Amino acid sequence: MKENQPKPIYPEQLIELISLYGFDLEGQSPKLWIAQCRQYYPVEWIYLAIMEALHQGRYKIISIEQILRLWLKRGSSVYHFGEDFEFLINRTVPGESVSSISSMLIESPSWPITLDEDRSVDIYNNNLRISEFIPLVDASDFYQRLKALVEA
């Protein structure tokens, strides 16, 4: 019996998703951004990161990049949307859509990627660097007062 394999993902579909959902591109063209990302991440990861950003309501390219960097650090893609969400998003994309790529577990990129000593990835030829984000819980008096003010 033939297995139900996901359809391949093409860069044009990624461009369509980014354009259709109005991601803030920070002045870049979607085509150029996708081309730059494909140098460092598998196209399946880019697709999943776009879906994850949509699921989280984060409509900026920087959000997709943060998701991709986190997955690179982990060595696997970890997303929180389901097949129903993916279906709803993909049915709005003109042409042949991707079907259920999220059912595949994509463990790691298939090429060597190295992180430099400060655990940051430079995907724009030293023009943009985003270091590893590690949130800290501040137990200071100021933090506690500010938190109480916000929660009031």
Domain membership of residue 116 (yes or no) is no
Domain tally, the chain: 1
Nearest to 48 by CA among 68, 21, 63, 62: 68
Spatial separation of the C-alpha atoms in residues 76 and 66, rounded to whole Å: 14
- Which pTM was predicted? 0.59
Amino acid (one-letter) located at 68: L
The predicted-structure confidence for 40-75, as pLDDT tens digits, reads as follows 998 899 999 999 999 999 999 999 999 999 999 988
The range of the structural domain enclosing residue 26 comes to: 11-110
Question: Is residue 6 domain-resident?
Answer: no
Residue 140 lies in a domain: no
* Confidence band of 145 (pLDDT split at 50, 70, 90): confident
Residue 123 lies in a domain: no
Is 3 contained in some domain?
A: no
